[in-house]
Amino acid sequence: MPTSRSYGDACTIARALDVVGERWALLVVRELLLGPQRFSDVRRALPGASSNLVTDRLRELENHGVVARRKLPPPAASAVYELTEWGRELEPVLLALGAWGARVPRPPPASLNVTSVLLFLRGSARPRGTACYRVELDPRVWTVRTEPGRLTVEPGEPGAPDATIRTDPATLNALLDRPDHLDDAIEKGQVTVDGDRDAVRRLLRERES
């Protein structure tokens, strides 16, 4: 059942934790940073959390006004969860927390989350040109667009991508670290690129040093 526990502390930090301090709550928020998601997408992204637990966290966040549930129009006719304006204000908090946590040893075994890789790409990219990419990751599809100095990521199919990238989060993360390994990864079948391969090279290389 959703929790109603409170620290009973007037400090604003404690009051914030009353809203987002439950286990998995901030990771649910993380999954919504890149746009609206269906319940099944959030659940798939958090394999260590049960369906009931994810349901509880979403309901609690919705009750607090951090998350909103919206029904898509036909033919989709399914519901998605998205951050409210107040919920979106958590983004710099989460990114700062992620930067702080970079020094924490990675627990074994640890998987690399799709959203985490895409957030890293978005945050570190410093593109100089304009391009559109279709990025397929385990097995969801994302639209990545670049313009000078800015990269955006959103769920769903792009209209006319310059290139399509199919891979897994760990491979994409490795290529962001070593973009010169792209051809080798393609030869080994770890990644498939359709379209403008040079545009993919630019995507991997144009990052903040």
3-class DSSP state of 141: strand
Per mean pLDDT, which range of 109-113, 150-154, 159-163, 188-192 is the poorest?
Answer: 109-113
**DSSP per-residue letters across 66-100:** SEEEEEPPTTT--EEEEE-HHHHTTHHHHHHHHHH
* Residue 131 burial class via C-beta count within 10 angstroms: exposed 0-12, middle 13-18, buried 19 and up: buried
What is the share, in percent, of the chain residues with pLDDT greater than 90?
85
Q: What is the pTM of this model?
A: 0.89
Q: Nearest-CA neighbor of 98 among 49, 29, 43? A: 29
Task: Tell me the longest C-alpha to C-alpha distance in the chain.
Answer: 58
**For residue range 77-101, what is the model confidence (pLDDT) as tens digits?**
789 999 999 999 999 999 999 999 9
What pLDDT, on the 0 to 100 scale, is given for residue 208? 66
Assess contact for 90 and 109: CB atoms under 8 A: no
What pLDDT, on the 0 to 100 scale, is given for residue 109? 74
| β pairing state of 163-167 and 131-137 | parallel
* Residue 82 burial class via C-beta count within 10 angstroms: exposed 0-12, middle 13-18, buried 19 and up: middle
